[in-house]
Amino acid sequence: MQVVFDALSLGSLYALGALGIALIFGVMRLVNFAHGDVIAFCVFALLWPSVDAVAIVFAGNLPWFLLIPFTLAVGAGLSVLSEALVFRRFRRANPATMMIASFALGFVIRYFLLMLFSSRPKSISLLPGLSQPVEILGARIPLLQVITILVTLAVLVGLTAFLRRTRFGLEMRAAAENFTMARMLGVRANRVIMGAFALSGALAGAIALILGSQTGTANIMMGASVMLMAFIATVIGGMGSLAGAVIAGFALGAVATVMQVVLPPDARAFRDAFVYGAVILVLIFRPQGLLAARGTKERV
């Protein structure tokens, strides 16, 4: 049972990250490699700038019902700002140029944090009540893991409802499939793209809260590993497919957790190599990803 919760919890993180990347890829064909740095920025936004080893908590002391919206708003705000200041200039650029711009933006955010906080990881205590274990079917599971899984499921259900049942969601789905045509029909392109960035940034904020609570540290590189796995999940899921990104995120979490258990102790240090090996195998057999966006399939 513990393994199942570990897998679901890790998969949740990857799924949330993959969703954030896939949302922006859908409307802009941009793989936003700054996403990981937005995650780190959200954690550091809870601290006062300081190069001391001990974090000086600022918004991190807020009660949960203020802390959560604050962090999501920071992520959404930074993401929207990055669209307005950087990516809007690259709308007509080819995907490779946009990707390089996203790397550059990521470095700018990372080194901005480095200037204010130094590269030393800082210990923080976010939502400490969540480290309490709860007993589920005889297994003692940290409450944070349960909440991570529930929050992810709620986000997925909420996002699906948003995309299916709201006017904005309809515009976003149309723009994700054929941005030019959507624009020709009068869909407000700027609003749709900004909305996608805001949602993606809010998802980065959610990951920041989960990671900060799980690890108890703030580290300027903390978003990088999630970003890498999330990117791989969007590729495996089929670029442009939100459902594929989520499924692949959970699958990666499951594979990583299971390998941690089944690999011989000497090989566990190389777990990620085995995970990436599995990724290569999947892509050899399904290079278009698990769920290729429907528009890219050949018509029968």
With contacts defined by CB under 8 A, name the span among 14-22, 148-156, 195-203, 288-296 that binds other proteins: 288-296
> Does the protein bind other proteins through residue 29 (CB under 8 A)?
no
Chain positions 175 to 214 lying near other proteins, rule: CB under 8 A, are 176-178, 181-187
Site pattern 127..166 for other proteins (x: CB under 8 A)? ---------------------------------------x
CA 62/CA 141 separation, integer angstroms: 25
Residue 238 interacts with other proteins (CB under 8 A): yes or no:
no
Strand partners, 273: none
Query: 217 pairs with which residues across the strands?
Result: 123
Half-sphere exposure of 203 (CA within 13 A, CB side): 32
Least Å from the CB of residue 239 to other proteins: 13
Q: Which is nearer to other proteins, 186 or 264 (CB)?
A: 186
Q: How far is the CB of 299 from other proteins (least distance, A)?
A: 7
User: Of the candidates 63, 92, 94, 167, which one interacts with other proteins according to CB under 8 A?
Assistant: 167
CB of 189 to other proteins, least distance (A): 10
264 binds other proteins (CB under 8 A): no
CA distance 209 to 154: 16
Report the residue number, 135 or 298, with the smaller CB distance to other proteins.
298
The size of the interface with other proteins (CB under 8 A), counted in residues, is 21
Distance CA 207, CA 75 (A): 10
For other proteins, the binding residue among 6, 37, 83, 171 (CB under 8 A) is 171
DSSP lists the bridge partners of residue 122 as: 218
Q: Hey, what are 21's tokens?
A: 């990347």
Show the CA angle centred on residue 229, arms to residues 90 and 3, nearest 5°.
155
Residue 136 or 177: the one with the smaller Cβ distance to other proteins is: 177
Q: In terms of CB distance, is 151 or 187 closer to other proteins? A: 187
Question: Structure tokens of 252?
Answer: 């990666």
Name the minimum Å distance from CB 298 to other proteins.
10
Nearer to other proteins, 142 or 195 (CB): 195
Interface with other proteins, residue 93, by CB under 8 A = no
* Interface pick for other proteins out of 170, 228, 263, 278 (rule CB under 8 A): 170
Piece of the chain touching other proteins by CB under 8 A; list 4-12, 32-40, 174-182, 214-222: 174-182
Is there binding between residue 173 and other proteins (CB under 8 A)? yes
Give the residue with the Cβ less far from other proteins, 61 or 178.
178
297 binds other proteins (CB under 8 A): yes
Q: Which positions lie near other proteins, rule CB under 8 A?
A: 166-167, 170-171, 173-174, 176-178, 181-187, 293-295, 297, 299
